[in-house]
Amino acid sequence: MKKIAVLVSGGGTNLQALINAQSRGEIVNGEISIVISSSPMVYALERAQKAGIPSYVLDRKQYPSSQAMTVALVDKLKELSIDLVVMAGFMTIVTKELFEVYENAVINIHPALIPSFAGPGCYGLHVHEKALAYGVKVSGATVHFVTEECDGGPIILQGTVDVLPDDTPESLQRRIMEQCEWKLLPQAVSLFCQNRLKVEGRTVRILP
């Protein structure tokens, strides 16, 4: 059984999708061992508590640098023998110390079709504002392995939604969450836990 840490900074709807998938038995060979939050005041922590999952706060403000916080994060992950790190709306910068220990074992969900609307400055509603301003007809979500390059790691799964003529950033964000993010993230986590993701350069092969 793979031990999973879910990293959060906000409302935690993707965490909830993982919790729900786990309770339906859809995270095959994996279990959420801990929820780690970058802030003590986020609703995601309540979701963890309600689900009976232990949580831990790693408050960025308590550390002098992103590197110092990352080292503390890695120490905690090692202490708990974590196999997979899932960033589910984790808004804090992490440094190479994480990827040195967890190579191809950190997963992120991004609310656009990478490489579009990705990279520095593309987070939260900004992503959907940019997509609408560009006039794209489809958008979606991407689950990818995390590397040092922001939003640049190998892509695991992508899903699409149509962009509708009267979409606002908020309506597009909601549709992408409901139709893509909340399905793709648990799927990718389950595939990882079954050892079914094989990274070959930039390509992730999904094994049967």
Supply the residues annotated as catalytic: 110
For 178, phi and psi rounded to 5 degrees? Answer: -65, -45
Burial of 3 (0-12, 13-18, 19+ CB in 10 A): middle
Q: Which residue carries 């149509």 as its tokens? A: 162
- In the complex, what is the shortest distance from the CB of residue 200 to ligand GRF, in angstroms, rounded to a whole number? 25
Distance CA 58, CA 11 (A): 16
Q: Which residue carries 């301003």 as its tokens? A: 133
* 181 near ligand GRF, rule: CB under 6 A: yes
Q: Which two tokens stand for residue 203?
A: 């390509």
HSE of 151 in the Cβ direction (CA atoms, 13 Å)? Answer: 20
Give the residue closest to ligand GRF by C-beta.
89
* 37 near ligand GRF, rule: CB under 6 A: no
- In the complex, what is the shortest distance from the CB of residue 98 to ligand GRF, in angstroms, rounded to a whole number? 16
Residues 4-23 that bind ligand GRF (CB under 6 A): 10-14
Give the number of residues in contact with ligand GRF, rule: CB under 6 A.
Answer: 11
Cross-strand partners of 143: 109, 157
Distance CA 198, CA 176 (A): 26
Residues 70-129 that bind ligand GRF (CB under 6 A): 88-89, 109-111
* 186 near ligand GRF, rule: CB under 6 A: no
For ligand GRF, the closer of residues 147 and 194 by Cβ is 147
Footprint on this chain of ligand GRF (rule: CB under 6 A): 10-14, 88-89, 109-111, 181
